[in-house]
A and B are shown apart, each in its own frame.
Chain A
Amino acid sequence: MPAIQVTNLTKTFRTKHKAAGLGASVRSLFRPEYRNVEAVRGLSFEMESGELLGFIGPNGAGKSTTIKILTGILFPSGGDAKVLGYIPWKQRQKLAYHIGTVFGQRPQLWYHLPAIDTLTLFGKIYEMEDRETRSRIAELAEAFEITDLLETPVRKLSLGQRMRCEVAASLLHKPELLLLDEPSIGLDVVAKQHIRDALRDMAKKENVGVLLTSHDAGDLEALCKRVIIINHGQIVYEDKVSTLKRSFLTSKLVEVRYAEQISTSFHIAGTETLKVAKERYGVKLRFDARTTPVEKVMAALSAAGTLLDITVSDPPLEEVIAAIYKTAEKSDADEGRNRG
């Protein structure tokens, strides 16, 4: 049985609309105007149990709304969804025993109290035995390296430390599925890595499925096997992360360092020269491997001078995702023009 089954899910919010100015404010008192905002439009997908699925999209794409529907907090306007066999909005409390959630922008730990107090409270809420709660806290404290932080009031923790405690709290009751909404938002590189490593290890060890929304392609690369990209409440891409990289990562970035100064008019046909640095004799260029053979570029670079160092890399995943968004938006616009 899939952990998540979503079929034609829709969610429309009705929002009050008011033009600027005093007159418009008075008018809206008597004749309020409402607009319907379609946050999720006919979303369908499945997620297997134990799968690590990335749910990526720009602001307002409908990611958080979908997660909130899947946890049972929001009622959908249409469509069906089952999470671990439960209909979330009808069986919210039963489902809650089996899922863990982290909403990265909202704290669930009690701000003025040490994290251990919230964890102990959650143990009671999930109806765990005291002994079981204590041993689970010790296990999570080790996995997330928070043993020394547990007795410090949450307000005194750094964001990275707090987020480690937040994620640990969501795993306390050994959920089968974790729904993480932007768990790495605002964190520095080290803190992100810390959380990703601990999450990946825990998910593997306990076979927990993870549905992760993020703006950070690093989260996706580090944690997820499959990715769904949504925009305007609809799926625009769905495949393995490795396929995404293969299909869209066709351009290569090359950074070279020479032993001596090379010509400032340096150029290789079929490549775009990004930088020729005089100080350390460095060159940075980009090319599309489909049209310009790698071999040809390497030969030309070697012929230009004595090579000291060379690095070939893929462009960041953010660029790839941005390209997919643009493609989807362009096809939306074309579709709109054709309809018009």
Chain B
Amino acid sequence: MKKYLAVFKINLLNSLAYPAEMVTRSAMILLFMWIFFQLWRITFAAAGSDSINGLSLHDTMWYLLLAETLELGRPRLARVISEQVKDGSIAYLLNKPYNFLVYQLSSGLGESLPRMGMLFVLGGALVWAMAGPPPDLVNWPLALVALAGAWLLHFCVNALIGLAAFVAEEVAPFEWIYQKFTFVLGGMLIPLDFYPAWLQTIAKSLPFAYMMYGPARLFVLPDMQLFAQIIIGQLLWLAIFGGLLVLVFSRGMRRLAINGG
């Protein structure tokens, strides 16, 4: 366990090697949140109501902040593994005495945590100024647990796409498709509550809702029943994707072709 903690730590240090760069890069969330606020302010005004399907403008903005933080802050593992296969540096990662997948998990967490923290603080400051204070602190623990589950689900799917590089090498198209699904069916651009009932049913039966909508919705409108549903859904999808990941990794190793000999 100590070795994975050390991997986490060195990734954390690496992320903090250029603090100014991290702040600048994270600052793009300000633009996104400002655009979202303008869009939703007009939408709510046009609807002539303080809430749409139970969500107010304030709820919607804090929902979107958490969803954006997760999307922009999660590790780009598929791209990372694909680059490692292309430039051959994966050779160094595979010949060390650790579990490669747990290594990637610790590494991704070390890279992701400071970035997510910075995104949330910067974006949160702007959302606070535009839409009002953050949700009550009692809402946070449930959202954090669901956030951890969502992050793990993203990790599994991203790692699966990354492992496709063992065979296909170029994985950008797969990642692009996956990202668009999380945008639309995960509720990243529009909270799923705003969709028609039939589309909500479809979206909530797919894994994407557990990767984005679940924690964001719990953050603004906590509900124990919803929490239980989300955690059970996350555990189910984690079992499926986690199992698949282990299987694909062991099969993929047989087919790995490293560039440069």
Measured in the bound complex, the distance between the Cα atoms of B94 and A68 in whole Å is 10
Contact of B92 with A117 in the complex, beta carbons under 8 Å: no
| B54 at interface, CB cutoff 8 A | no
Contact of B88 with A105 in the complex, beta carbons under 8 Å: yes
Contact string against B for A residues 54-79, beta-carbon threshold 8 Å, 1 for contact and 0 otherwise: 00000010111100100111110000
Contact of A68 with B261 in the complex, beta carbons under 8 Å: yes
| A108 at interface, CB cutoff 8 A | yes
Contact of B95 with A125 in the complex, beta carbons under 8 Å: no
Q: Which residues from A are CB-within-8-Å of B6? A: 120-121, 124-125
> With A93-B97, A106-B87 as given contacts, are A121 and B10 in contact (CB-CB < 8 Å)?
yes
| B18 at interface, CB cutoff 8 A | yes
Measured in the bound complex, the distance between the Cα atoms of B14 and A297 in whole Å is 65
| A13 at interface, CB cutoff 8 A | yes
Contact of B89 with A124 in the complex, beta carbons under 8 Å: no
Measured in the bound complex, the distance between the Cα atoms of B106 and A339 in whole Å is 56
Contact of B254 with A75 in the complex, beta carbons under 8 Å: yes
Contact string against B for A residues 124-153, beta-carbon threshold 8 Å, 1 for contact and 0 otherwise: 111100000000000000000000000001
In the assembled complex, the CB of B22 is this many whole angstroms from the nearest CB of chain A, namely 12
Nearest residue in B to A97 (C-beta to C-beta)?
Answer: B97
> With A68-B261, A124-B6, A127-B3 as given contacts, are A103 and B18 in contact (CB-CB < 8 Å)?
no
Contact string against A for B residues 3-18, beta-carbon threshold 8 Å, 1 for contact and 0 otherwise: 1011101100110011
> With A74-B256, A75-B253, A105-B260 as given contacts, are A112 and B18 in contact (CB-CB < 8 Å)?
yes
If over half of A's interface residues share one DSSP class (helix, strand or loop), that class is named, otherwise mixed; here it is mixed
> With A103-B91, A106-B91, A125-B6 as given contacts, are A112 and B261 in contact (CB-CB < 8 Å)?
no
Measured in the bound complex, the distance between the Cα atoms of B98 and A39 in whole Å is 28
Q: Which residues from A are CB-within-8-Å of B90? A: 73
Nearest residue in A to B11 (C-beta to C-beta)?
Answer: A110
Determine the interface band of chain B, counting residues with CB < 8 A from chain A: 20 to 34
Contact of B97 with A126 in the complex, beta carbons under 8 Å: yes
> With A13-B257, A63-B261, A113-B10 as given contacts, are A96 and B96 in contact (CB-CB < 8 Å)?
yes
| A92 at interface, CB cutoff 8 A | yes
Measured in the bound complex, the distance between the Cα atoms of B14 and A198 in whole Å is 30
Contact of B17 with A73 in the complex, beta carbons under 8 Å: no
Measured in the bound complex, the distance between the Cα atoms of B89 and A312 in whole Å is 45
Contact of B95 with A72 in the complex, beta carbons under 8 Å: yes
Pick from A64, A94, A96, A121: contact of B261, CB under 8 Å: A64
Contact of A110 with B10 in the complex, beta carbons under 8 Å: yes
Measured in the bound complex, the distance between the Cα atoms of B260 and A117 in whole Å is 27
Measured in the bound complex, the distance between the Cα atoms of B260 and A24 in whole Å is 26
Measured in the bound complex, the distance between the Cα atoms of B97 and A99 in whole Å is 10
Contact of A106 with B88 in the complex, beta carbons under 8 Å: yes
In the assembled complex, the CB of B12 is this many whole angstroms from the nearest CB of chain A, namely 11
Task: Kindly identify, within residues 68 to 101 of chain B, every residue whose CB is under 8 Å from any CB belonging to chain A.
Answer: 87-92, 94-99
Central interface residue in A13, A62, A121, A122, by most chain B CB within 10 Å: A121
Pick from A60, A113, A120, A181: contact of B14, CB under 8 Å: A113
| A107 at interface, CB cutoff 8 A | yes
| B258 at interface, CB cutoff 8 A | yes
| A10 at interface, CB cutoff 8 A | no
Measured in the bound complex, the distance between the Cα atoms of B3 and A66 in whole Å is 29
Contact of B258 with A68 in the complex, beta carbons under 8 Å: yes
Pick from A94, A97, A103, A127: contact of B92, CB under 8 Å: A103
Q: Which residues from B are CB-within-8-Å of A117? A: 10, 13
Q: What residues of chain A have their CB less than 8 Å away from a CB belonging to chain B?
A: 13, 39, 60, 62-65, 68, 71-75, 89, 92-94, 96-97, 99, 101, 103, 105-108, 110, 112-113, 117-118, 120-122, 124-127, 153, 181
Q: List 13 A-B contacts (CB under 8 A).
A: A72-B95, A74-B258, A75-B254, A93-B98, A96-B97, A99-B95, A103-B91, A106-B87, A107-B89, A121-B9, A124-B2, A124-B3, A125-B98
